[in-house]
Homo-oligomer: A and B are copies of this chain.
Protein backbone atom coordinates (compact mmCIF):
# COMPACT_ATOMS: atom_id res chain seq x y z
CA UNK A 1 0.00 0.00 0.00
CA UNK A 2 1.31 3.46 -0.84
CA UNK A 3 0.35 7.07 -0.47
CA UNK A 4 -1.83 7.00 -3.56
CA UNK A 5 -4.91 6.56 -1.40
CA UNK A 6 -4.64 10.19 -0.44
CA UNK A 7 -4.38 11.32 -4.06
CA UNK A 8 -7.77 10.12 -5.26
CA UNK A 9 -10.08 12.89 -4.14
CA UNK A 10 -11.95 14.98 -6.60
CA UNK A 11 -11.24 18.01 -4.46
CA UNK A 12 -7.57 18.95 -4.66
CA UNK A 13 -8.07 21.12 -1.62
CA UNK A 14 -9.22 18.14 0.44
CA UNK A 15 -6.09 16.23 -0.64
CA UNK A 16 -3.96 19.12 0.46
CA UNK A 17 -5.69 19.32 3.84
CA UNK A 18 -5.01 15.65 4.50
CA UNK A 19 -1.39 15.93 3.36
CA UNK A 20 -0.78 19.02 5.49
CA UNK A 21 -2.29 17.30 8.50
CA UNK A 22 -0.08 14.27 7.97
CA UNK A 23 3.03 16.43 7.58
CA UNK A 24 2.29 18.10 10.88
CA UNK A 25 1.90 14.79 12.67
CA UNK A 26 5.34 13.82 11.32
CA UNK A 27 6.84 17.15 12.45
CA UNK A 28 5.36 16.56 15.90
CA UNK A 29 6.81 13.04 15.89
CA UNK A 30 10.25 14.36 14.95
CA UNK A 31 10.15 16.78 17.88
CA UNK A 32 9.19 13.99 20.27
CA UNK A 33 12.08 11.84 18.98
CA UNK A 34 14.45 14.71 19.77
CA UNK A 35 12.93 14.99 23.23
CA UNK A 36 13.63 11.34 24.05
CA UNK A 37 17.25 11.48 22.88
CA UNK A 38 18.03 14.72 24.69
CA UNK A 39 16.20 13.84 27.90
CA UNK A 40 18.17 10.67 28.43
CA UNK A 41 21.45 12.40 27.56
CA UNK A 42 20.61 15.16 30.03
CA UNK A 43 19.80 12.61 32.72
CA UNK A 44 22.97 10.63 32.10
CA UNK A 45 25.43 13.50 31.71
CA UNK A 46 23.83 16.18 33.88
CA UNK A 47 23.70 18.59 30.93
CA UNK A 48 21.13 21.08 32.23
CA UNK A 49 20.95 23.12 29.06
CA UNK A 50 19.88 20.02 27.20
CA UNK A 51 17.26 19.25 29.86
CA UNK A 52 15.84 22.73 29.42
CA UNK A 53 15.66 22.25 25.65
CA UNK A 54 13.48 19.18 26.21
CA UNK A 55 11.06 21.22 28.31
CA UNK A 56 11.01 23.97 25.71
CA UNK A 57 10.31 21.53 22.89
CA UNK A 58 7.42 20.15 24.96
CA UNK A 59 5.57 23.45 24.60
CA UNK A 60 5.82 23.12 20.82
CA UNK A 61 4.65 19.52 21.03
CA UNK A 62 1.63 20.50 23.15
CA UNK A 63 0.71 23.31 20.76
CA UNK A 64 0.96 20.94 17.79
CA UNK A 65 -1.27 18.40 19.53
CA UNK A 66 -4.03 20.97 19.95
CA UNK A 67 -3.59 22.34 16.42
CA UNK A 68 -3.65 18.94 14.72
CA UNK A 69 -6.61 17.77 16.78
CA UNK A 70 -8.55 20.90 15.84
CA UNK A 71 -7.56 20.52 12.18
CA UNK A 72 -8.82 16.93 12.12
CA UNK A 73 -12.12 17.95 13.72
CA UNK A 74 -12.59 20.70 11.15
CA UNK A 75 -11.91 18.35 8.27
CA UNK A 76 -14.32 15.80 9.77
CA UNK A 77 -17.04 18.45 10.11
CA UNK A 78 -16.54 20.08 6.70
CA UNK A 79 -15.59 17.15 4.46
CA UNK A 80 -17.59 14.41 6.14
CA UNK A 81 -15.18 11.74 4.98
CA UNK A 82 -15.82 8.00 4.91
CA UNK A 83 -13.79 4.79 4.66
CA UNK A 84 -10.01 5.32 4.54
CA UNK A 85 -10.10 9.10 4.97
CA UNK A 86 -12.24 8.78 8.08
CA UNK A 87 -9.88 6.18 9.53
CA UNK A 88 -6.87 8.36 8.63
CA UNK A 89 -8.30 11.33 10.54
CA UNK A 90 -9.37 9.32 13.60
CA UNK A 91 -5.96 7.60 13.63
CA UNK A 92 -4.19 10.96 13.48
CA UNK A 93 -6.24 12.09 16.51
CA UNK A 94 -5.18 8.95 18.37
CA UNK A 95 -1.52 9.21 17.33
CA UNK A 96 -1.12 12.81 18.49
CA UNK A 97 -2.43 11.78 21.92
CA UNK A 98 0.25 9.06 22.11
CA UNK A 99 2.96 11.46 20.89
CA UNK A 100 1.99 14.12 23.39
CA UNK A 101 2.21 11.64 26.25
CA UNK A 102 5.59 10.36 25.04
CA UNK A 103 6.70 14.00 25.04
CA UNK A 104 5.45 14.33 28.63
CA UNK A 105 7.46 11.30 29.70
CA UNK A 106 10.59 12.79 28.09
CA UNK A 107 9.88 16.09 29.79
CA UNK A 108 9.64 14.39 33.17
CA UNK A 109 12.97 12.62 32.57
CA UNK A 110 14.47 16.06 31.82
CA UNK A 111 12.93 17.56 34.97
CA UNK A 112 14.39 14.71 36.96
CA UNK A 113 17.80 15.46 35.44
CA UNK A 114 17.52 19.06 36.63
CA UNK A 115 16.37 18.05 40.10
CA UNK A 116 19.16 15.48 40.46
CA UNK A 117 21.85 17.93 39.39
CA UNK A 118 20.90 20.01 42.42
CA UNK A 119 21.20 17.20 44.90
CA UNK A 120 23.60 14.56 43.70
CA UNK A 121 26.58 14.54 41.41
CA UNK A 122 28.01 11.13 42.31
CA UNK A 123 27.09 7.88 40.64
CA UNK A 124 25.97 9.71 37.55
CA UNK A 125 27.46 7.49 34.89
CA UNK A 126 26.68 4.19 36.47
CA UNK A 127 23.67 3.35 34.33
CA UNK A 128 24.47 5.61 31.43
CA UNK A 129 25.00 2.92 28.84
CA UNK A 130 21.97 0.83 29.74
CA UNK A 131 19.59 3.79 29.71
CA UNK A 132 21.06 5.30 26.54
CA UNK A 133 20.78 1.93 24.84
CA UNK A 134 17.18 1.55 25.96
CA UNK A 135 16.46 5.08 24.75
CA UNK A 136 17.97 4.23 21.34
CA UNK A 137 15.71 1.21 21.09
CA UNK A 138 12.48 3.04 21.90
CA UNK A 139 13.48 5.94 19.67
CA UNK A 140 13.97 3.47 16.81
CA UNK A 141 10.55 2.04 17.52
CA UNK A 142 8.94 5.47 17.42
CA UNK A 143 10.86 6.40 14.28
CA UNK A 144 9.72 3.17 12.64
CA UNK A 145 6.10 3.81 13.63
CA UNK A 146 6.25 7.32 12.15
CA UNK A 147 7.73 5.88 8.94
CA UNK A 148 4.79 3.51 8.71
CA UNK A 149 2.49 6.52 9.02
CA UNK A 150 4.48 8.41 6.37
CA UNK A 151 4.67 5.58 3.85
CA UNK A 152 1.71 3.46 4.95
CA UNK A 153 3.90 0.37 4.75
CA UNK A 154 2.13 -1.47 7.48
CA UNK A 155 4.24 -4.61 6.99
CA UNK A 156 7.04 -2.94 9.00
CA UNK A 157 4.86 -3.00 12.10
CA UNK A 158 5.97 -6.56 12.88
CA UNK A 159 9.62 -5.49 13.13
CA UNK A 160 8.77 -2.62 15.43
CA UNK A 161 6.71 -4.75 17.77
CA UNK A 162 9.59 -7.26 17.78
CA UNK A 163 11.89 -4.46 19.04
CA UNK A 164 9.60 -4.02 22.04
CA UNK A 165 10.63 -7.48 23.25
CA UNK A 166 14.23 -6.24 23.40
CA UNK A 167 13.10 -3.17 25.31
CA UNK A 168 11.31 -5.35 27.85
CA UNK A 169 14.40 -7.54 28.22
CA UNK A 170 16.66 -4.51 28.76
CA UNK A 171 14.19 -3.16 31.27
CA UNK A 172 14.10 -6.40 33.25
CA UNK A 173 17.90 -6.52 33.24
CA UNK A 174 18.21 -2.93 34.53
CA UNK A 175 15.71 -3.67 37.31
CA UNK A 176 17.69 -6.72 38.41
CA UNK A 177 20.92 -4.72 38.55
CA UNK A 178 19.25 -1.89 40.46
CA UNK A 179 17.77 -4.23 43.05
CA UNK A 180 21.19 -5.82 43.59
CA UNK A 181 22.80 -2.42 44.06
CA UNK A 182 20.09 -1.27 46.44
CA UNK A 183 20.63 -4.39 48.53
CA UNK A 184 24.39 -3.87 48.57
CA UNK A 185 24.24 -0.29 49.79
CA UNK A 186 21.04 1.24 51.11
CA UNK A 187 22.42 4.74 50.55
CA UNK A 188 21.89 4.02 46.84
CA UNK A 189 18.17 3.50 47.18
CA UNK A 190 16.80 6.97 46.40
CA UNK A 191 19.16 7.48 43.46
CA UNK A 192 18.43 3.97 42.15
CA UNK A 193 14.68 4.60 42.32
CA UNK A 194 15.22 7.59 40.03
CA UNK A 195 17.11 5.43 37.53
CA UNK A 196 14.34 2.85 37.83
CA UNK A 197 11.78 5.55 37.10
CA UNK A 198 13.64 6.59 33.93
CA UNK A 199 13.90 2.97 32.79
CA UNK A 200 10.17 2.54 33.35
CA UNK A 201 9.40 5.75 31.46
CA UNK A 202 11.42 4.42 28.50
CA UNK A 203 9.59 1.12 28.68
CA UNK A 204 6.29 2.99 28.55
CA UNK A 205 7.50 4.98 25.55
CA UNK A 206 8.12 1.65 23.82
CA UNK A 207 4.57 0.57 24.70
CA UNK A 208 3.18 3.80 23.27
CA UNK A 209 5.14 3.28 20.04
CA UNK A 210 3.41 -0.13 19.86
CA UNK A 211 0.06 1.56 20.44
CA UNK A 212 0.78 3.83 17.47
CA UNK A 213 1.54 0.75 15.36
CA UNK A 214 -1.76 -0.83 16.34
CA UNK A 215 -3.64 2.34 15.41
CA UNK A 216 -1.84 2.30 12.05
CA UNK A 217 -2.77 -1.29 11.25
CA UNK A 218 -6.36 -0.36 11.95
CA UNK A 219 -6.04 2.69 9.70
CA UNK A 220 -4.60 0.82 6.75
CA UNK A 221 -6.39 -2.50 7.02
CA UNK A 222 -9.53 -1.42 8.83
CA UNK A 223 -8.87 -4.18 11.37
CA UNK A 224 -8.70 -3.70 15.09
CA UNK A 225 -5.61 -5.50 16.33
CA UNK A 226 -5.39 -4.00 19.79
CA UNK A 227 -6.21 -7.11 21.72
CA UNK A 228 -4.45 -9.70 19.61
CA UNK A 229 -1.39 -11.28 21.13
CA UNK A 230 1.99 -10.41 19.62
CA UNK A 231 2.15 -13.92 18.15
CA UNK A 232 -1.20 -13.46 16.42
CA UNK A 233 -0.08 -10.07 15.19
CA UNK A 234 3.09 -11.45 13.67
CA UNK A 235 1.13 -13.98 11.65
CA UNK A 236 -0.66 -11.17 9.82
Contact = CB atoms under 8 A, between A and B. Distances in A.
14 contacts: A62-B226, A62-B227, A63-B227, A65-B227, A66-B224, A70-B224, A73-B86, A73-B90, A76-B76, A80-B80, A90-B93, A100-B226, A182-B182, A186-B186
Contacts of A159: none
A69 interface: yes
A11 interface: no
A193 interface: yes
A8 interface: no
A189 B193 contact: no
A95 B44 CA distance: 36
B93 A82 contact: no
Given A80-B80, A83-B77, A224 B69 contact: yes
Given A66-B226, A186-B183, A77 B82 contact: yes
Interface string A98-124: 001000000000000000000000000
Contacts of A175: 193
A17 to B, nearest CB: 16
Instruction: Return the 3 tightest CB-CB contacts between A and B, nearest first.
Output: A80-B80, A183-B186, A62-B227
A190 B62 CA distance: 37
A22 interface: no
A86 B86 CA distance: 12
A179 interface: yes
Interface string A57-81: 0000011011001100100110010
Contact of A182 (B62, B186, B224, B227): B186
